[in-house]
Amino acid sequence: MRRPVFPGPAILAITLAISLVSTTPATADTATSGHAYDTVDSVQSGPGERQITITGIIAGQSTATILTYQLRNPTATSPTEDLAARCDRFALLAMTKPGKYQFATIRATFSNTYDCVLTTRTP
């Protein structure tokens, strides 16, 4: 019985091809609508100013997504309002108590910016 012989260059080529596969993490898409998250896996401020990136499972879906939301500008009546910090707190609370809260982003009227909402789920 004859065994198949794999020449050294073929093994080297396969090893090189496997090592060139990208190991960079997935990048976030920019959100085009608001979403309600059943679970929040991670929250990141940024990458830009007044942005928040959420990794989690959107209600009705079964796999996690990574989306970046541009938060609205502070208004003239509340110029010190820190929406990014508030959204971070809401998302972190949803992370620490899975199933108790639902984190959501709501698109502002006539704008491509968002506000955040944290809702208590019924037990």
Full residue range of the structural domain in which residue 37 is found: 26-120
Q: CA 26 to CA 48: how far, in whole Å? A: 17
Beta strands across the sheet bearing 29-30: 29-30, 64-70, 51-58, 36-45, 101-107, 114-120
Residue 9 lies in a domain: no
Does 103 fall in a domain? yes
- Is 1 within the bounds of a domain? no
Residue 28 has pLDDT above 80, yes or no: no
Provide the pLDDT for residue 82. 78
pTM tops 0.75, yes or no: no
The answer to whether 37 touches 57, Cβ cutoff 8 Å, is yes
- Whether residue 114 lies inside any domain: the answer is yes
Instruction: Supply the mean pLDDT for the chain.
Output: 78
Domain count along the chain: 1
User: Does residue 2 fall inside a structural domain?
Assistant: no
For residue 79, the domain's CATH number is: 2.40.50
Tell me if 94 is assigned to some domain.
Answer: yes
Q: In this predicted structure, what is the pLDDT of residue 77?
A: 55
| 29 has a pLDDT exceeding 80 | no
Give pLDDT tens digits for 69-88: 998 877 655 555 678 888 99
Residue 108 has pLDDT above 90, yes or no: no
44 found inside a domain: yes
Q: Domain for residue 10, yes or no? A: no
